[in-house]
């Protein structure tokens, strides 16, 4: 194994984390990392002083180019697009798992859609990976002041919703267990006690539905606002699931740094339900039912 290959493998987890946070897709992030490796393997070693910053610059530019290309456009996507969730993703058997602190929440990844590709890259490298402005200036071939202004503009475009909270996994798991208990009991009053008044629910089905016993289960095409409507929507769909879905089960898992609820029909993942919190209330519900984005959660693949 060459020194160049070793240098790449040492930074592969970081490169994947950057690409995933840029693109919100596991498969695309893998493609970007692979493209980075191919470009890296063609470079003369004498041209590179330090491997890590060079590789970070490469993968960042590859992701920016992709986001600026026609391939990244989603005009034809049916309904709401949500990022693909990431849960204990293993780069390969020789590499460590991607740590949750390298991963933005589903809600923040969705907010990043408001930004230009360059704003997104600078925001992620600064906010998630703590790059300083001198490092950013080398990556983007800009002055430190320019990078500082782009980061400031990105923060302003995203608004106050980007505040990241420390996740107490045990507290949130307890909250989710109580939330699910209220759901299973079908008690709307108890359910909405866990929701903020201005909670928003987003569901991504990719235009696909699940047919079970003559019933079609589909994702909502538009966001649902307010705790009453969100609570009613959740209970309505749970009643259908309980009535028509065989071998239904659920478990709490960690995705994107937060506890989430994974729902199964036998061995098949039906939905990944992610939540964001403000204080002790849920202020964002993100439901992923697009089967193309749930492949990593098949039980027989674990």
Q: What is the pLDDT of residues 188-206, one digit of tens each?
A: 898 999 999 999 999 999 8
Do residues 56 and 175 both lie within one domain?
no
Q: Which residues of the chain have pLDDT under 70?
A: 1, 45-47, 88-102, 161-169, 214, 300-302
In a domain, 176, yes or no: yes
In a domain, 232, yes or no: yes
> How many structural domains are present in the chain?
2
Do residues 146 and 295 both lie within one domain?
no
In a domain, 108, yes or no: yes
Final residue before a domain boundary, out of 145, 162, 179: 162
Do residues 156 and 174 both lie within one domain?
no
The two structure tokens encoding residue 70: 């026609």
Res 161: pLDDT: 65
Res 1: pLDDT: 57
- Encode 200-243 in three state secondary structure: EEEEECCCCCEEECCEEECCCCCCEECHHHHHHHHHHHHHHHHH
Do residues 142 and 218 both lie within one domain?
no
Q: CB of 23 within 8 A of CB of 63?
A: yes
In a domain, 89, yes or no: no
In a domain, 87, yes or no: no
Res 98: pLDDT: 46
Res 137: pLDDT: 96
What does the alpha-carbon distance between residue 112 and residue 120 come to, in Å, rounded to a whole number?
A: 6
Do residues 180 and 48 both lie within one domain?
no
- Map tokens 């798992």 to a residue: 97
For residue 199, the SS3 value is: strand
Do residues 146 and 198 both lie within one domain?
no
The pTM (predicted TM-score) of the whole model is 0.87
Res 159: pLDDT: 80
In a domain, 19, yes or no: yes
Final residue before a domain boundary, out of 146, 162, 178: 162
In a domain, 195, yes or no: yes
In a domain, 97, yes or no: no
Do residues 136 and 230 both lie within one domain?
no
Do residues 116 and 189 both lie within one domain?
no
Do residues 115 and 175 both lie within one domain?
no
Res 64: pLDDT: 96
Do residues 174 and 158 both lie within one domain?
no
The two structure tokens encoding residue 185: 């009991």
For 70, residues 6+ apart whose C-beta sits below 8 A from its C-beta are none
Res 22: pLDDT: 95
Final residue before a domain boundary, out of 116, 141, 162: 162
Do residues 57 and 175 both lie within one domain?
no
Do residues 183 and 257 both lie within one domain?
yes
Res 167: pLDDT: 57
CATH number of the structural domain spanning residue 118: 1.20.140.160
Q: CB of 23 within 8 A of CB of 29?
A: yes
**Residue 189 belongs to what domain range?**
169-301
What does the alpha-carbon distance between residue 91 and residue 69 come to, in Å, rounded to a whole number?
A: 26
Alpha-helical regions (H) of the chain? 3-23, 26-42, 51-67, 106-111, 117-127, 133-140, 144-158, 169-185, 188-192, 227-244
């Amino acid at each position: 194994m060459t020194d160049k290959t070793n240098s790449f493998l040492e930074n592969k987890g970081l490169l994947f984390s950057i690409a995933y946070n840029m693109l919100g897709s596991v498969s695309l992030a893998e493609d970007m990392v692979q493209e980075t490796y191919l470009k890296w393997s063609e470079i003369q070693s004498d041209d590179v002083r330090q491997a890590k910053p060079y590789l970070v610059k490469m993968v960042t530019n590859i992701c920016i180019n992709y986001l600026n290309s026609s391939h990244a456009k989603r005009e034809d996507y049916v309904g709401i697009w949500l990022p693909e969730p990431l849960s204990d993703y293993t780069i390969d058997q020789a590499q460590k798992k991607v740590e949750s602190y390298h991963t933005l929440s589903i809600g923040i990844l969705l907010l990043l859609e408001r930004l230009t590709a360059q704003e997104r890259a600078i925001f992620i490298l600064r906010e998630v990976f703590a790059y300083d402005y001198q490092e950013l200036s080398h990556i983007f071939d800009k002055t430190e002041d320019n990078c500082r202004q782009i980061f400031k503009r990105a923060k302003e475009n995203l608004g106050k919703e980007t505040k990241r909270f420390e996740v107490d996994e045990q507290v949130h798991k307890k909250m989710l267990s109580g939330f699910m208990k209220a759901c299973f009991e079908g008690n709307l009053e108890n359910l909405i006690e866990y929701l903020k008044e201005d909670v928003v629910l987003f569901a991504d089905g990719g235009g696909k539905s699940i047919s079970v016993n003559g019933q079609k289960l589909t994702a909502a095409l538009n966001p649902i606002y307010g705790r009453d409507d969100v609570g009613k929507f959740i209970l309505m769909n749970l009643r259908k699931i309980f009535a028509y879905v065989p071998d239904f089960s659920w478990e709490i898992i960690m995705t994107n740094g937060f506890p989430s609820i994974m729902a199964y029909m036998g061995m098949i993942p039906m939905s990944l339900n992610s939540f964001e919190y403000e204080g002790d209330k849920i202020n964002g519900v993100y439901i992923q039912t697009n089967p193309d984005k749930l492949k990593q959660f098949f039980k027989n693949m674990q």
